[in-house]
DNA sequence: CTCCTGATGACACGACGTGTCATCGACTCC
DNA sequence: GGAGTCGATGACACGTCGTGTCATCAGGAG
């Protein structure tokens, strides 16, 4: 611990601060106003007061500007690493999803609806969304293995968790008068167990 | 039923036949030889003896040339529509997956491995692959609803089915001395039921 | 004072994907 | 058998995406 370190952040004045944030906000606004594919990168950078080249320094491509700021993977990593050892994985995952639902969805329904409408309207965004889903699986799976879950079980549970997150989100968004998303998550786990229950004779 | 209809297909000589097939094969060969992103559309069309514009008449984009010929969605549609009514959906889905495993995977392991290596090496292809997975869910789900499965259950079961398909495929490809993929599918269903079984006290 | 660092600007460029019109063999109709 | 239609392909222009490269210039370190 050296001593002086932080005097004051010494605001840089050469460029307006938070270039990435300005780009992300400008992008989202324009996507919402005129659609994703109808928005060009030069339009975004013009609104943010930057250049096209700078946009691609902050985002790998135009889609990433839309998905920037997704905190769920980091949350998942942390939750898996810091949960008490020996906790039943399914319980851990369900509680983790309920926590995510409370912190990221239950109080932002309208914003989430706008985002989903944009994704649904744009194949390019649906595709990236599907990839983000796979990325989350790729975070959860090794986290479970590190907790001692067998590889196959870890793969299935990681996929199951992200499955429930997405199905619950759809349910919650489509319900005109929905309960909390956390409860939708739990309801999904209940139905999941129910549909998988072996039927005696293989008929309904 | 008019009478003369099919004399002989009257082979068209103006252009070589099966333009789409030639494009798809040329694309796959070049992707395998030099990678997806290192292959340009003009290279593909040169090998197929066509022009760039024609490529985009047969495929929406470069990635579609890689995934062209995927028959699983149509198989799923047909299987769901033609299966005996009243069959337990989980049984139907598991049997359907086993059938797909036998018909499309068990005798093509090396080809499937090559394809997966290409997908893994290329983010653009991973993304499209994730989208194809979502597309298959979107085929199975309404098929289940048409069979009378409740909407939430149909969503969960459709997702579950595609989940098992992918997890089983990974297991089967990674196992140095694998059983038939059909059996891997069944093993996944077994583990799925096992991991979801409620534990008495929430600990391992 | 000088050098270094790091974010941005400026510019060129290849590749992707689309719109549009022309071409021309095959088929149909009369 | 001649005229018109149809459908797949070619030819060309064009806008956008995303990258490589070098220049610029404020602040910090020695």
pLDDT tens-digit profile of A23-56?
A: 999 999 999 999 999 999 999 999 999 999 999 9
Q: Which of A23, A29, A20 is nearest to A118 (CA)?
A: A29
Question: Is A204's CB within 8 Å of B152's CB?
Answer: no
Q: What is the pLDDT of residue A6?
A: 37
State the nearest Cα–Cα gap between A17 and chain B, in angstroms: 32
Q: What is the pLDDT of residue B200?
A: 61
Q: What value does the mean pLDDT take over residues A3-17?
A: 55
Contact residues for B69 (Cβ-Cβ < 8 A; gap 6+)? B24
| Average pLDDT of chain A, as a whole number | 92
Residue B204 predicted with pLDDT over 70: no
Question: Is A204's CB within 8 Å of B166's CB?
Answer: no
Q: What value does the mean pLDDT take over residues B39-56?
A: 98
The answer to whether some atom of strand D lies closer than 7 Å to the beta carbon of A34 is: no
> Residue B176 CA to chain centroid, in angstroms?
23
- Which sequence spans correspond to the domains of chain B? 1-69, 72-196
Residue A7: nearest nucleotide (C-alpha to C1'): D28
CATH fold of B1-69 reads Tetracycline Repressor; domain 2 (1.10.357)
**Of all residues in chain A, what percent carry a pLDDT higher than 90?**
87
Task: Strand D: list positions under 7 Å from protein Cβ.
Answer: 8-13, 15-21, 25-28
State the nearest Cα–Cα gap between A7 and chain B, in angstroms: 43
First-to-last alpha carbon distance for chain B, in angstroms, is 67
Interval A160-173: pLDDT, tens: 999 999 999 999 99
Residue B2 predicted with pLDDT over 70: no
Interval B59-114: pLDDT, tens: 999 999 999 999 999 999 999 999 999 899 999 999 999 999 999 999 999 999 99
B90 and chain A: CB distance < 8 Å anywhere? yes
Q: What is the pLDDT of residue B100?
A: 98
B37 and chain A: CB distance < 8 Å anywhere? no
Residue A58 structure tokens: 């902050």
Q: Do domains B1-69 and B72-196 have the same CATH topology?
A: yes
Q: pLDDT band for B203, please (50, 70, 90 cuts).
A: low
Residue B127 predicted with pLDDT over 60: yes
For domain A72-196, which architecture applies? Answer: Orthogonal Bundle (1.10)
**Of all residues in chain B, what percent carry a pLDDT higher than 90?**
87
Q: Of the ranges A61-75, A106-120, B12-26, B157-171, which one carries the lowest mean pLDDT score?
A: B12-26
Neighbour tally for A124: CB within 10 Å: 16
Question: Is B196's CB within 8 Å of A160's CB?
Answer: yes
In terms of C-beta density within 10 A (0-12 exposed, 13-18 middle, 19 or more buried), how is residue A95 classed? Answer: middle
pTM: 0.92
Residue A102 predicted with pLDDT over 80: yes
Q: What is the pLDDT of residue A15?
A: 86
The answer to whether some atom of strand C lies closer than 7 Å to the beta carbon of B40 is: yes
Radius of gyration of chain B (CA): 21
């Amino acid at each position: 611990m050296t001593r002086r370190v932080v005097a004051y952040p010494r605001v840089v004045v050469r460029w307006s601060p938070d270039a990435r944030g300005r780009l992300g906000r400008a992008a989202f606004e324009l996507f919402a106003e005129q659609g994703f594919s109808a928005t060009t990168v030069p339009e975004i950078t013009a609104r943010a007061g930057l250049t096209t080249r700078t946009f691609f320094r902050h985002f790998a491509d135009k889609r990433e500007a839309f998905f920037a700021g997704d905190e769920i993977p980091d949350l998942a990593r942390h939750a898996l690493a810091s949960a008490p050892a020996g906790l039943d994985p399914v319980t851990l995952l369900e509680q983790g999803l309920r926590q995510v639902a409370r912190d990221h969805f239950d109080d932002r329904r309208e914003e989430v609806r706008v985002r989903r409408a944009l994704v649904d309207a744009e194949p390019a965004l649906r595709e990236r969304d599907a990839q983000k889903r796979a990325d989350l699986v790729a975070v959860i799976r090794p986290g479970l293995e590190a907790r001692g879950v067998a590889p196959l079980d870890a793969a299935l549970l990681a996929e199951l968790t992200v499955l429930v997150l997405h199905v619950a989100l759809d349910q919650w968004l489509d319900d005109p008068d929905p309960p909390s998303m956390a409860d939708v998550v739990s309801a999904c786990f209940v139905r999941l167990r129910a549909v998988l229950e072996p039927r005696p004779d293989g008929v309904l």
